[in-house]
Amino acid sequence: MELYSSKITKLIEELSSLPGIGAKSAQRLAFHIINMPKERAETLANTIVDARANIRYCQKCFTLTDDELCPICKSDRRDIHTIMVVENSRDLAAYEKTGKFEGLYHVLHGAISPMLGIGPNDIRLKELIQRLSVEDIDEVIIATNSSLEGETTAMYISKLIKPTGIKVSRIASGVPVGGDLEYIDEVTLLRALEGRVEL
């Protein structure tokens, strides 16, 4: 016997398909949405549809934005000679929360993982190398995760960039091995940034 009607069940199923949302959380969210004022539920639904339709990658750093360039790349207050390379936009946001990094970013959208069939051509490495050839960059800080994939990606990037004469550094090991940057506190991230070492 089914517990709920088909529309409620469908809503719970859709919500539980989101990352980090289990069956109980999905059920709670579903009932919260159902009990919202109709206008509020419509605003939520329209915001999701609008975001999906209009958010794209920044043409320069490849983070998510709703404009050609993200606010960081557009800013005239950033150090345009330093680029921090991160795996995803959540890692970029984690570093921005520290308020201490004043350079630009490059978002790879993944990491090299031969076991998962992800090679250098499957992430935004080609775009990084192209940026380095046209922009006046003094240092590339590699801030990939301290996982096997992150370390592999860091070493690969280092080997690509070193011959160009651009300084390449890696964030220090204040970040625990196997830890994802998005879940690490600002103090640890800041220590990792300040203690980076040249590769």
For residue 2, is pLDDT > 70? no
pLDDT tens digits along 104-154: 999 999 999 989 999 999 999 999 999 999 999 999 999 998 888 988 999
Give the phi and the psi of residue 109 in degrees, each rounded to 5. Answer: 60, 50
Token digits for 49? 């549809």
Provide the domain limits for residue 26.
Answer: 6-54
Least confident of 30-39, 55-64, 157-166, 172-181: 172-181
Amino acid at 116: L
**Domain annotation covers residue 17:** yes
Do residues 15 and 103 both lie within one domain?
A: no
d(CA 44, CA 57): 23
Q: Cβ(153)–Cβ(123) under 8 Å?
A: yes
Do residues 32 and 116 both lie within one domain?
A: no
**Domain annotation covers residue 59:** no
**Domain annotation covers residue 110:** yes
**Domain annotation covers residue 186:** yes
pLDDT tens digits along 67-93: 999 999 999 999 999 999 999 999 999
For residue 94, is pLDDT > 70? yes
Do residues 88 and 186 both lie within one domain?
A: yes
Of 166, 174, 168, 180, residue with least CA distance to 194: 174
Do residues 185 and 121 both lie within one domain?
A: yes
Do residues 23 and 87 both lie within one domain?
A: no
Q: How many domains does the chain have?
A: 2
Q: Cβ(15)–Cβ(29) under 8 Å?
A: yes
pLDDT tens digits along 24-74: 999 999 999 999 999 999 999 999 999 999 999 999 999 999 999 999 999
Do residues 38 and 105 both lie within one domain?
A: no
CATH of the domain at 28: 1.10.8.420
Q: Cβ(133)–Cβ(163) under 8 Å?
A: no
pLDDT at 42: 96
Determine how β-strand 167-170 pairs with β-strand 139-142: parallel
**Range 5-24 average pLDDT:** 91
Question: To 5 degrees, how large is the angle CA 58–CA 41–CA 50?
Answer: 20
pLDDT tens digits along 16-26: 999 999 999 99
Do residues 107 and 154 both lie within one domain?
A: yes
- Long-range contacts at 13-20 (CB < 8 A, ≥ 24 apart): none
CATH of the domain at 164: 3.40.1360.10
Q: At what angle do helices 6-16 and 23-35 cross, to 10 degrees?
A: 120
For residue 175, is pLDDT > 70? no
